[in-house]
Amino acid sequence: MLLAGFLVILLTDPFTSLPRASAIVQECQACRQISKELMKRLASEKHRDPINLKYRLDSQGKKYGKIIEFRLSEQRIHDLLDDLCTAASADATLYRVKNDDQYSLVWNDVKESDSWIAPDKAEKEGRKKELENYCVRLLDEHEDELTGILKEDSGDLEGILCERLAKACEPKTENPENARSEL
């Protein structure tokens, strides 16, 4: 009886640690699909004026507060991340790719060749939901770090998100032979 009570507490305790955002087929490609959508949003971003927060009056009747540069604002982060998961999973499909009598799975927006086999409608919808749920877990887990990265405009978003934060992909290493041949 005591053990059953302990299990109920353990299962309902909100402070128990949850697994990291994973448990998706081809996690690295799924993460890259999400970062690709985020980079598309960053590229289509338009210049916005600073946000004026000087609406309060002091005892002499003068306005006070601060003006925040839009790229550093919470509003920008919200605009970028709002519905990101739905958009990232909207066109993505997990294709079966046939190579030499073996199949591998690839997340992509478009069917690139005849060797790519699209799933049936029910599986496609299930995989979209799987990608969307993975994206939500990923953003929830790394929200603070991602906010800082977006405010800093830190360059290689895919590498930072998928390699360093989510650890879904192996870090890209430069091949020393290729580096020498380019010189």
Number of structural domains found in the chain? 1
- Can you give the chain as a three-state secondary structure string? CHHHHHHHHHHHCCCCCCCCCCCCCCHHHHHHHHHHHHHHHHHCCCCCCCEECCCEECCCCCEECCEECHHHCHHHHHHHHCCHHHHHHHCCEEEEEEECCEEEEEEECCCCCCCEECCCHHHHHHHHHHHHHHHHHHHHHCHHHHHHHHHHCCCCHHHHHHHHHCCCCCCCCCCHHHHHHHC
Query: Does 112 reside within a domain?
Result: no
pLDDT attached to residue 75? 92
Query: Does 45 reside within a domain?
Result: yes
Query: Does 111 reside within a domain?
Result: no
pLDDT attached to residue 33? 94
Query: Does 114 reside within a domain?
Result: no
| pTM of the predicted structure, to 2 decimals | 0.75
Query: Does 144 reside within a domain?
Result: yes
pLDDT attached to residue 177? 52
pLDDT attached to residue 22? 57
Percentage of residues in the chain having pLDDT higher than 70: 83
Q: Which of 9-18, 39-48, 86-95, 107-116 has the lowest mean pLDDT?
A: 9-18
Q: What is the tens place of the pLDDT at every residue in 55-97?
A: 888 888 888 888 889 889 999 999 999 999 999 999 888 888 8
Query: Does 135 reside within a domain?
Result: yes
How far apart, in whole angstroms, are the C-alpha atoms of residue 130 and residue 113?
Answer: 24
- Domain extent at residue 57: 22-88+120-169
Query: Does 93 reside within a domain?
Result: no
Query: Does 47 reside within a domain?
Result: yes
